[in-house]
Structure 1
Amino acid sequence: MSTEQPTMTDPRPDALEVGTTATKAVKARARIPWRFLGSRALFYLFTLWAAITINFILPRMMKGDAVDAYLARNRNISPEAADALRALLGLDTDRSLFQQYLDYWSHLLRGDLGVSLLHGLRPVTEVIAGALPWTVGLVGFATIVSFTIGTLGGAFIGWRRGSRLDVMIPITTFLSTIPYFWLGLLAIAVFSVNLKWFPIGKAYGVGMKPEWSAEFISQVIHHGTLPALTIVIASLGGWMLGMRNMMLTVLDEDYITVAQAKGMPDRKVLWGYAARNAVLPQIQSFALSLGFIVGGTIVMEMVFSYPGIGKLLLDATNGKDYALMQGVFLVITISVLIANILADVAYAFLDPRTRQTEA
């Protein structure tokens, strides 16, 4: 039997290089999943088109229109001015619905979302741009804090299952079931009215002008602390419960038993193996929750009189300001779609099995 070994100049390939499953897996993992990315892109493009089309149709199915509501509040408007307003808002009855739809897409591609009747015919983009930072700053910060605390706490509670720490799960879950408006009113009654630690509402003090100064920033932080805390308390239970349940599932896996049998430190097993795999569904949920940040918490903004997107949408609905409603809905839709895309990419990156299955 020949025992000849391949040399550096031997043209014959090494069997270990071409024949092992591990090598094939590495090569397959290195390829860019064009089919997966293409299918996702087509799906989200169709979803975006459907959302924009529904956003165009729904206001036109409602009784009356924005101009009728505006004329009811301002009776000194001439018929000619009313017709000009309808043409400006894309509600001209002389044009068919399909022509209005094409005009809507034409304005949309130019970044023109129309004008807001409730805000003195200001462009909708300016109105939304003024309210968006307040919602993203407050709700975004509170969401990140609640996700971090809930995920880390849930992982540790799951690791120490059966200990006294388990009592945290029913407590945080109970706080999450309290209606948000009641939780907000209770926080205002205790910390604002009785203890006087925080202001009752608004985003900054009366008489202050928004500017980049230490005094204004301190006012914003002071006014935003209480609503941020209520958001964290209301959402903490879901993150903690979800992470704890995933930890219980992962801890029963064979690789955790093997890692512990090899004598690995508990800290490495907890964070390097168990929590790393249990956090995958949490990351996808977190990415989706980031999309809904733009929608804000309407009830929170009502209770604390906070000038965010949620309150803006409520005012636009009550005032039948359809252009502003469409603009807010469009921003929320795009943010949710972007969050879904980020969730798909993050999940496929962290768990290649998902990418390979869908491709």
Structure 2
Amino acid sequence: MRFFIRRVAFYIVTAWAAVTLNFFIPRMMPGDPVQALIARYQGQISVDAVNSLRKLFGMDAHESLWQQYIDYWVKLFHGNLGVSLQSFPTPVSQIISQSLPWTIGLVGLATIIAFVVGTVIGIILGWRRGTKWDALIPITTFFSSVPYFWIGLMAIAIFATVLQWFPQGGSYSVDSLPGLNWAFMSSVFYYGFLPALTIVLSSMAGWILGMRNMMVTVSSEDYVTVAHAKGLRESVVMFRYASRNAILPQISGFALSLGFVVSGTLVMEQVFNYQGIGYRLLQATNNHDYPLMQGIFLVITLSVLIANVVADIIYAFLDPRTRKEG
């Protein structure tokens, strides 16, 4: 119990530090978001509205920095992340809620597929080392070392430009009406196939190599030798004895990768013009939309922290040695 209490306390402090940094960093960046908004809507927003806009964005000159910090926390507890500059007056929470499902659906599903397939292949490669299966190792090493945006560009060049099997970018066809209907869902799957394939190919290689190396390590352990001596089938020894212990680092890594799903793959979404959270973050950066950047960073940070908590809990249950007091 003390282990879990210490971990929860650590992550609470980490979350407070992340939120605090998220408050101060935009205020230390060069530029004035209010003046940028007025310049963008030149002639449409009165200069007299500067004070009202500053208060709206939590930068009231008549309030101390400490009071702004307190107000920021109060807004967070009410789910208020501010108002976007580039989509003024749309709330930041609305933009994030519209973009987040696209990223979670695409990157999340691709991450799960890559983990499952990569782990199974890694188990086989590690168990059958020294056989013809080792021919797959150079291939996996190649994909793990190549930047995933390069794989995306090659996928577009081959499957979209030359073969014309898939579209070059976008999230769904402009001819389909968004909703829970077959035409729209099939369009989403069709447009998301190449981005998902890019993520699976680039991340699966890491899971394969990681699992293979762990399988090679545990194959010489005493409990594996005893299982062989009992006359158990090879498949039973491989999956119930060797892989069960070798998969522990994979589980914790998988939990962390799920936390990073929320951040999306910025370059991939940019390459495929996919309307996920990474693409929104890039737009916010280019347009100096500090409130939107602030909101996206906060969501990403909290998601990673939650994933760390889940990873610690899962690992503690799988391996009781981690719960021992130092």
TM-score, normalization: structure 2?
0.98
Q: Tell me if structure 2 keeps the 8 A contact 1:169–1:237.
A: no
1:49 matches 2:34: no
Trace 1:180-219 onto structure 2 (pairs within 5 A). 180-219=148-187
Task: State yes or no: 1:304 paired with 2:247.
Answer: no
Counterpart-to-counterpart distance in 1, 2:216 and 2:87: 53
Deviation, structure 1 residue 208: 2.5
Say whether residues 1:69 and 2:70 are aligned partners.
no
2:8 corresponds to which letter in structure 1? A
2:130 to 162, 165, 178: 162
Letter of the 2:92 counterpart: V
Local SS of the residue matching 1:196: coil
Give SS of 1:210's match: coil
* 1:130-178 superposed Cα distances (whole Å, 9 cap, x missing partner): 0000000000011000101110000011000101111212211211222
Q: How far did 1:303 drift?
A: 0.3
Structure 2 counterpart of 1:190, one-letter code: I
- Once the two structures are TM-superposed, the CA of residue 119 in structure 1 deviates from its matched residue by 1.4
Equivalence for 2:57: 89
Partner of 2:291: 323
Structure 2 residue aligned with 1:58, among 21, 25, 32?
A: 25
Q: Could you say which structure has the larger radius of gyration?
A: 1
Counterpart secondary structure, 1:296 = coil
Given candidates 171, 194, 202, the residue that maps to 1:226 is 194
Matched residue pairs, number? Answer: 325
Give the 4+ runs in structure 1 shifted more than 6 A. Answer: none
Q: Give the letter aligned to residue 204 of structure 2.
A: L
Residue 5 of structure 2: aligned partner: 38
Matched residue, 2:324: 356
Residue 48 of structure 1 and its aligned partner are, at CA, apart by: 0.3
> Letter of the aligned partner of 1:37 in structure 2?
F
Matching residue's letter, 1:248: V
Q: Which of 116, 128, 149 pairs up with 2:96?
A: 128
Q: CA RMSD in A?
A: 1.0
Q: Aligned equivalents of 2:215 and 2:148: distance in 1? A: 28
**What amino acid sits opposite 2:2 in the alignment?**
R
60-69 vs 73-82, greater mean Cα deviation: 73-82
- Equivalent in the alignment of 2:230: 262
| 1:99 CA drift (Å) | 1.0
Which residue of structure 2 lines up, in the alignment, with residue 143 of structure 1?
A: 111
- SS of equivalent to 1:117: coil
Q: Is the 8 Å Cα contact of residues 264 and 277 (structure 2) preserved in structure 1?
A: yes
Asked if structure 2 preserves the Cα contact closer than 8 Å seen for 1:176 and 1:237, the reply is yes
- For 1:54, the aligned partner's letter is L
* Aligned AA (1:44): Y
Instruction: Tell me the CA shift for residue 68 of structure 1.
Output: 2.0
- 2:180 is aligned with 1:174: no
The residue aligned with 2:219 is 251
Could you tell me the TM-score, scaled by structure 1's length?
0.89
The one-letter amino acid of 1:291's match is G
C-alpha distance in 1 between matches for 2:310 and 2:85: 35
> Identity of counterpart residues, as a percentage?
58
The letter of the residue matching 2:183 is E
Aligned-pair distance for 1:93?
A: 1.6
Matched-pair contact (CA < 8 Å) for 2:34–2:54? yes
Q: What residue identity is the alignment partner of 1:342?
A: V
**Counterpart-to-counterpart distance in 2, 1:140 and 1:266:** 33
